[in-house]
Amino acid sequence: LLSKFAGGLGNDWTNVRALGSYIKGTNGKSQGVVPFLKVVNDTAVAVNQGGKRKGAVCAYLETWHLDIEEFLELRKNTGDDRRRTHDMNTANWIPDLFMKRVMDGGEWTLFSPSNCPDLHDKFGKAFEEAYSAYEAKADRGEIKLFKRMPAKDLWRKMLSMLFETGHPWITFKDACNVRSPQQHVGVVHSSNLCTEITLNTNETEIAVCNLGSVNLVQHLKDGAIDQVKLKKTVATAMRMLDNVIDINYYAVKKARDSNLRHRPVGLGIMGFQDCLYQLKLPYASKEAIEFADRSMEAVCYHAYFASTELAAERGRYSSYPGSLWDRGILPQDSLKLLAEQRGGGQGEGPQSSRYLEVDMSEAMDWGLLRAHIAEHGMRNSNCVAIAPTATISNIIGVDASIEPSFGNLSVKSNLSGEFTIVNEYLVRDLKALGLWDDVMVMDLKHYEGSLRPIDRVPESLKALYATAFEIEAPWLVEAASRRQKWIDQAQSLNIYIAGASGKKLDDTYKLAWLRGLKTTYYLRTKAATHVEMSTVTKSRHNAVSSGGALGGAA
């Protein structure tokens, strides 16, 4: 029903007991989680989204589950096909303790949830204490079914499967929970299909989030964010999203109950790359990271302000008392909670430890907003989430979401046929330099939209119009970290890596964790052996150069 009437689903499977665990009622042994996931996979194929598009599901499993190694291989094209799910997405739900063990070269123990039923509901230091106690029990022989391995070996397998199959995605349990405004009434057990929603789920509530996106490029004025226009747009959007909660059709009662109780919405952005083009800022630059910070601060500030004004007008959401909002803790303040929970001694900044390094700069009058929330409360438990916006950004003609441009020349197809899209900003700049001619068109086609091999294009334009695979991945992570500071949910962050290697993947995803990201989405890779012909006789590898490395991130 959810698939038929709603769309994408995120499922949490950690509570299903592991392969080989004891079944008390029958004195038998469990088949584990994989056969159930096979059923889910086939259901997603059978029941599509209202006859309009394919069913879409993402299954999440926590890293200590005894079936995790088999879970990692679900999307492989080899092996027993009855234990593969080729049509379903998968994601790792990773606790901080695992990342610490990876960083520090520690051991990791896998359990069946039937032997440690409370682990999935715990996070932060409470999880670490409970997990260590279960490890001690296993050492004493009180838990028979477990497996121990170096944490780095499991991490390496996670990254190699991610590279090989694109799954499971890397998402971080503790950042999602410790920073959740709603931790007083439940636990975030997984994210959704696109990894931007971080809402509580339990046996009586199915989390639902209504999404909307602001076209950011329409809110630039004189080289900066037009705060007056943005505030008006966001206030309208938040009112509309709040209305949708009441007038929506809910396929199942648990979804309706959850949404009416907490009233979460997810306002995001699209056209981020278009803004950078307008401002003449290369994606791989400190100025672009600063713009990511300031623009998201503005969107979040106005979204939270709109929600508290709606609360003054329409009343607070029912589970508001005891929330982080109620306690005067805004999303950026919750980074301090995350630093405390992760521990590891002090890093360089006030909100940093050895395991968390986040920039804490701010530019707006948050004191005013705090006072408003203290007086009126909030209408919505959650307000901001950055969705992929693939279809709607196509319709209005901007780059999707927070994505870097995939190519300056691309072909898009829909039911009407195929369309060749050329980057209009690039055409404008090339025309201004007298470089837009038939030869340039042929060169762009030949080099698949990349300017890098075209000698007559100035370096400044090559930097500004660098495509996703020409930007070093740490720049994407750093910009996302600045956004995540302000966002009360998460963001669909695709990672692009050209010339992917184990070291690049390792560095990139460890950096994502250190910078406080809650989730990551698809990993998109391009082999260094992808050869581009620059003349008839000469070829060059499409590996990203190591130049322009980012301070503290390269």
**Which residue shows structure tokens 């009112």?**
239
User: Which residues are 170's β-sheet partners?
Assistant: 92
Task: Find out whether the peptide bond into 168 is cis, omega within 30 degrees of 0.
Answer: yes
- Checking DSSP bridges between strand 220-221 and strand 224-225, what pairing results, if any? antiparallel
Report the run of H or E that residue 515 belongs to, with start and end: none
What are the structure tokens assigned to 231, written together?
């505030």
**Long-range contacts (CB closer than 8 Å, 24 or more residues apart) made by 223-228:** 223/279, 225/294, 225/295, 225/298, 227/298, 227/302
The residue type of 5 is F
DSSP codes of every residue in 312-358: HHH---TT-TTSTTTTT--TTTHHHHHHHHH-S-B-SSTT-BTTB--
- Checking DSSP bridges between strand 531-533 and strand 107-111, what pairing results, if any? unpaired
Q: Tell me the CB-side half-sphere exposure of residue 410, using CA atoms within 13 A.
A: 13
Q: Using CA atoms of 80, 81, 85, 90 in order, give the dihedral in degrees to the nearest 10.
A: 20
Those residues whose C-beta lies under 8 Å from the C-beta of residue 312, and which sit 6 or more positions away, are 375, 376
What CA–CA distance (Å, rounded) separates 393 from 412? Answer: 12
Max CA separation in the chain (angstroms): 80
Closest alpha carbon to 3 in 57, 68, 66: 57
Q: Judge contact between 466 and 453, C-beta under 8 A.
A: no
Q: Tell me the CB-side half-sphere exposure of residue 103, using CA atoms within 13 A.
A: 16
| Catalytic center residues | 192, 194, 196
